[in-house]
Amino acid sequence: MHKGFTLIEFVVIISIFAIMAAVALFNFQGFNSNIALSNVSHDIALTLRQAQVFGWSAQTDTNATTLIPVLDANGNPEQYADGVYFPYDTSTNSFEQKFLLYTKTDPVAQNAMYTSADVVNDTIKIQGNVRIVAIQAGISESSLAINAQHEVPSGATAITQSVSLAFSRPRPDAIFFIGNALDQNMSDKYMAIYIASTTNTDPLYADHVILVSRFGEIEVQ
């Protein structure tokens, strides 16, 4: 006589496999989400670093006739700045799902913010369930609540305009632009870019933070 599974045993085995598959799929989706968040955060940091390198090695503005370098008000040669632009959509009150690596056509450092006349070296689209939840400026890391929880602070300068972060020789530091204006608040030593999953509905929480200091430091937390 041949022995085999009874119907009940077969159903139990199928149920166990279904539960294992569901758990594995859930963990895989969570893993994919973490990878996407990490990739976007490091893409932004690397693009900022690329702009920094380009800005520090930028071409000097020279007189078209004499080919002598043009000097700024401090007696330093004017350099073409490079930067990263984060466009803000006022219709949705959120940052767009892309950022731009640009080179200025105007060598004056005070005009290093992005304009449509500038050269766009690369447009990086944010893919997957990832978004820039906020960009804020602050006097210190603690004012931006850079910690294990990555809470988006309410006390820092909340930015609801497009942001340009530029670099230019001989300045080693970053130049902050909010909207069409240079950030004149020199007490703002840092700017933080908060990254979160679209499935994260908590407006006060971010999964990763890219921190940029006026001293040129760029890090992902």
Q: What is the pLDDT of residues 130-162, one digit of tens each?
A: 889 889 888 887 777 655 455 666 656 778 899
Residue of 175 and 78 predicted with greater confidence: 175
Q: pTM, whole model, 2 decimals?
A: 0.75
pLDDT winner (highest mean) among 83-92, 167-176, 208-217: 83-92
Does residue 173 register a pLDDT over 70? yes
Distance CA 88, CA 97 (A): 9
Both tokens of 74, joined, read 């401090």
Which strands make up the sheet holding 218-220, listed edge to edge?
A: 157-158, 130-138, 190-197, 208-213, 218-220
208 or 78: whose pLDDT is higher?
A: 208
Quick one: pLDDT band at residue 180, thresholds 50, 70, 90?
confident
Q: What is the mean pLDDT of residues 164-188?
A: 76
For the stretch 57-102, pLDDT in tens is 766 655 455 555 555 666 666 677 889 999 999 999 889 999 999 9
**Averaging pLDDT over each range in 6-15, 100-109, 112-121, which range is the top one?**
112-121
Q: How many residues does the chain have?
A: 221
Residues 6+ apart with CB under 8 A from 143: 153, 155, 156, 190
> What does the pLDDT average to over 159-171?
85
Per-residue pLDDT averaged across 42-58, rounded? 87
* pLDDT at site 70: 58
Q: What is the CA radius of gyration of the chain?
A: 24
Max mean pLDDT range (2-16, 35-49, 183-197): 35-49
Q: Is the dihedral of CA 197, 45, 136, 91 positive or negative?
A: negative
Measuring CA to CA, which residue among 191, 200, 139 is closest to residue 165? 191
Q: Which residue has the higher pLDDT, 20 or 94?
A: 94
Q: Give yes or no for residue 113 having a pLDDT over 50.
A: yes
3-class SS at 2? Answer: coil
